[in-house]
């Protein structure tokens, strides 16, 4: 089965070691995700594309316990088979905190400040039979 | 009272919850109730500011209320729609432009959590949910300031108890701590009964120049401040795919400071407050962000019942969003409606004792906006 990204330009693709694609302000070095053309810190209109760090620490988290409404959610929204998933912000050192799915959905196994690493996870299968991939962070230990 | 003050002279509401009426018609019901409360006619209104998030353009309600040619401006500002209508009405009078006018908010939402309008990777991937933001914000806050899950449960218990004393509330059944603690986990650490639901309803507030207030009522309530603020760089807000590495104050802290400055008062001068309680953790965090306690102090305050109707500083006396639900366009004005009742001594079974003189409201919503009002009699 072929794999395709949920959207072009969000993370490097294809890649064995994926990275999120963000923007950095050319005036004040502020880092943003996803890419954007203006800087909310210094109001500059000049940003350039950068690849973000693959590793960071968990800043906060929750567990999505019920199926998000579909649309827009593209994953499994069947209440009978829905699997809760983790969502959090991972702080990438010296860059920014990115909101992300987490591969872990057990509250006992998640804690603020734990080390995390970027990975890609299957979200759904599209009409062409391709596996659509999105990004998530996974605990490194 | 100074001559340039603004007074509230009439309030009206359509009950929150579920109704067969359209959202717009619930707004019309609220307007008619407010007109009756002030003893005035629709034709006396010199201006109106009104809005809803999901129930149509407010200005079209003139076809039912009367085509009087008044200046009617639609306001659309998410959860701060009502607050923004009020702020605009306040300034229209304070500036001397008009003497008498009305702020209107109403709404009607589909059942279940708010649907997000985001078809990019963000919504597709299962993010962009307001419930996740609240779960993540309180989860970090609880760890930082040592707040227990029992504190969350107590906020909900209080809300449903207060709602049971409010004939206009949606949820009027008190709920035990155990029922709350056993409800379904929606967004850790928040359970079903920690969250409010989208709902329906309408509220209208009639305002006039303070020196003319006694024409309409013996008990005018003065609007001492109305402030709305958006987010600043570094704050942690709902629907944010990324956050800055540094921390900045959120819009609630900014709106609160602006409101107190405008009123020439401080948190210690307030007798009661209605604070945005989209979920019970929000009430806890907003107690501190609005300046009513230190971070972490809420645990003790809740355990001792200090924010109960008979407590030292009553919070969400009408049951808040938790017991009333959240019709986005009307929610902020519902808080003002409740404070007017409290200050006029008309709150019935849920009346705050000892004749409160001052009251505070605070709304918060996407994408990081807060609105504050300060009322005094
Ligand atoms: Zn910049």
Using a CB-CB cut-off of 8 Å, the residues of chain A touching B140 are: 59-60, 112
Using a CB-CB cut-off of 8 Å, the residues of chain B touching A59 are: 140, 243
Range of the domain at A42: 3-139
Q: Calculate how far, in angstroms, residue B245's C-alpha sits from the geometric centre of ligand 1.
A: 13
- The encoded tokens of residue B263 equal 């009123």
**CATH 3.40.50.300 describes domain B6-110+196-376:** no
Contact state of A72 with B123 under an 8 Å Cβ cutoff: yes
In this prediction, residue B330 carries a pLDDT of 94
The sign of the torsion formed by the CA atoms of B258, B259, B260, B265 equals positive
User: Is B110 part of the contact surface with chain A (CB cutoff 8 Å)?
Assistant: no
Contact state of A101 with B128 under an 8 Å Cβ cutoff: no
Hey, is B374 helix, strand or coil?
strand
| pLDDT, tens digit, 9 for 90 and up, residues B132-147 | 999 999 999 999 999 9
Total structural domains within chain A: 1
Q: Calculate how far, in angstroms, residue A39's C-alpha sits from the geometric centre of ligand 1.
A: 5
In this prediction, residue B110 carries a pLDDT of 79
In this prediction, residue B367 carries a pLDDT of 83
The answer to whether ipTM exceeds 0.85 is yes
In this prediction, residue B38 carries a pLDDT of 98
Which DSSP state fits A129?
Answer: S
| pLDDT, tens digit, 9 for 90 and up, residues A55-81 | 999 999 999 999 999 999 999 999 999
Compare CB distances from A60 to B116, B139, B242 and report the shortest one's residue: B139
Contact state of A96 with B185 under an 8 Å Cβ cutoff: no
Distance from CA of B63 to the nearest CA of A (A): 35
In this prediction, residue B3 carries a pLDDT of 54
> Does residue B130 contact residue B114 with C-beta atoms inside 8 Å?
yes
* Residue of chain A whose alpha carbon sits nearest to that of B134: A62
Q: At what angle do helices B280-289 and B149-163 cross, to 10 degrees?
A: 100
Instruction: Concatenate the DSSP letters of all residues of A20-78 into one string.
Output: BEEEEETTT--EESS--SS-TTT--S-EEEEEPPSEEEEEEEEEE-SPPPTTT--S---
> Does residue B339 contact residue B375 with C-beta atoms inside 8 Å?
yes
In this prediction, residue B114 carries a pLDDT of 66
CA distance B232 to B42: 40
In this prediction, residue B4 carries a pLDDT of 63
Contact state of B124 with A123 under an 8 Å Cβ cutoff: yes
Using a CB-CB cut-off of 8 Å, the residues of chain A touching B118 are: 72
> Does residue B157 contact residue B173 with C-beta atoms inside 8 Å?
no
CA distance A121 to B235: 29
Pairing state of beta strands B100-108 and B200-209?
A: antiparallel
In this prediction, residue B79 carries a pLDDT of 82
* Residue of chain B whose alpha carbon sits nearest to that of A67: B126
- Chain pair A-B, CB pairs under 8 angstroms: 123
Contact state of B135 with A62 under an 8 Å Cβ cutoff: yes
User: Is B18 part of the contact surface with chain A (CB cutoff 8 Å)?
Assistant: no
Using a CB-CB cut-off of 8 Å, the residues of chain B touching A100 are: 127
Compare CB distances from A97 to B123, B129, B243 and report the shortest one's residue: B243
Using a CB-CB cut-off of 8 Å, the residues of chain B touching A40 are: 233, 244
Compare CB distances from B188 to A33, A63, A94 and report the shortest one's residue: A63
Q: Which residues surround ligand 1, an ion (CB under 5 A)?
A: A 25, 27-28, 30, 39, 41-42, 44
Binned average pLDDT, 10 residues per bin, chain B of 377 residues: 80 96 97 98 98 93 97 91 93 95 94 73 94 96 98 98 97 96 98 94 97 96 95 90 91 97 97 97 98 98 98 98 94 97 98 98 90 96
Compare CB distances from B126 to A59, A85, A88 and report the shortest one's residue: A85
CA distance B339 to B174: 22
Contact state of B132 with A97 under an 8 Å Cβ cutoff: no
Mutation target to probe the A interface, by most A beta carbons within 10 A, among B111, B114, B122, B124 is: B124
* Residue of chain A whose alpha carbon sits nearest to that of B118: A72
| pLDDT, tens digit, 9 for 90 and up, residues A24-67 | 999 999 999 999 999 999 999 999 999 999 999 999 999 999 99
Q: Calculate how far, in angstroms, residue A44's C-alpha sits from the geometric centre of ligand 1.
A: 5
Hey, is B357 helix, strand or coil?
coil
Contact state of A99 with B115 under an 8 Å Cβ cutoff: no
Contact state of B120 with A91 under an 8 Å Cβ cutoff: no
Q: Calculate how far, in angstroms, residue A45's C-alpha sits from the geometric centre of ligand 1.
A: 8
- Rounded average pLDDT over A4-23: 95
* Residue of chain A whose alpha carbon sits nearest to that of B185: A65
Domain ranges across chain B: 6-110+196-376
Contact state of B140 with A6 under an 8 Å Cβ cutoff: no
In this prediction, residue B2 carries a pLDDT of 58
What is the residue whose two structure tokens read 């983790």? Answer: A86
A91 vs A23, A88, A140, B232, CA distance in Å?
16, 10, 14, 19
């Amino acid at each position: 089965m072929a794999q395709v990204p949920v959207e072009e330009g969000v993370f490097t693709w294809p890649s064995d070691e994926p990275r999120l694609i963000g923007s950095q302000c050319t005036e004040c070095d502020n880092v943003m995700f996803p890419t954007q053309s203006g800087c909310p810190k210094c109001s500059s209109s000049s940003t350039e594309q950068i690849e973000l760090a693959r590793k960071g620490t968990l800043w906060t988290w929750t567990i999505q316990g019920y199926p998000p409404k579909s649309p827009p959610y593209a994953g499994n929204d069947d209440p009978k088979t829905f699997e809760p998933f983790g969502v959090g912000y991972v702080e990438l050192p010296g860059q920014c905190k990115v909101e992300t799915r987490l591969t872990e959905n057990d509250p006992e196994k998640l804690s603020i400040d734990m080390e995390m690493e970027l990975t890609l996870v299957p979200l759904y299968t599209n009409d062409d039979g391709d596996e659509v991939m999105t990004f998530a962070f996974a605990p490194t230990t | 009272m100074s001559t340039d003050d603004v007074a509230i002279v009439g309030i009206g509401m359509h009950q929150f919850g579920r109704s067969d009426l359209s959202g717009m018609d619930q707004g019309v019901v609220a307007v008619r109730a407010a007109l009756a409360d002030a003893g005035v006619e629709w034709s006396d209104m010199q201006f109106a500011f009104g809005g809803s998030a999901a129930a149509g353009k407010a200005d079209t309600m003139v076809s039912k209320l009367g085509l009087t040619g008044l200046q009617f401006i639609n306001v659309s500002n998410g959860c701060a729609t009502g607050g923004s209508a009020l702020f605009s009405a306040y300034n229209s009078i304070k500036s001397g432009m008009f003497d008498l006018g009305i702020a209107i908010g109403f709404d009607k939402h589909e059942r279940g959590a708010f649907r997000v309008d985001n078809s990019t990777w963000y919504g597709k991937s299962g993010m962009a949910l307001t419930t996740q933001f609240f779960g993540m914000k309180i989860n970090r806050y609880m760890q930082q300031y040592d707040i227990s899950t029992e504190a969350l449960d107590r906020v909900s218990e209080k809300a449903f108890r207060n709602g049971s004393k409010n004939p206009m509330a949606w949820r009027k059944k008190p709920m035990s701590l155990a029922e709350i603690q056993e409800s379904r986990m929606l967004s850790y650490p928040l359970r079903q009964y920690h969250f409010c639901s989208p709902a329906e309803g309408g509220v209208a507030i009639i305002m006039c120049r303070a020196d003319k207030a006694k024409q309409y009522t013996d008990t005018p309530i003065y609007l001492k401040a109305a402030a709305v603020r958006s987010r600043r760089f570094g704050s942690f807000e709902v629907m944010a795919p990324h956050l800055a590495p540094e921390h900045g104050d959120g819009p609630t802290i900014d709106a609160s400071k602006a409101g107190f400055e405008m009123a020439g008062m401080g948190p210690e001068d307030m007798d009661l407050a209605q604070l945005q309680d989209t979920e019970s953790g929000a009430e806890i965090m907003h107690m501190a962000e609005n300046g009513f306690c230190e971070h972490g102090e809420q645990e003790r305050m809740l355990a001792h019942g200090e924010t109960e109707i008979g407590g030292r500083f009553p919070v969400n006396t009408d049951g808040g969003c938790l017991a009333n639900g959240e019709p986005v366009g009307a929610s902020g004005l519902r808080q003002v409606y409740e404070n007017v009742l409290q200050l006029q001594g008309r709150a019935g079974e849920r009346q705050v004792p000892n004749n409160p003189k001052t009251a505070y409201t605070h709304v918060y919503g996407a994408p990081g906006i807060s609105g504050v009002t300060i009322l005094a009699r």
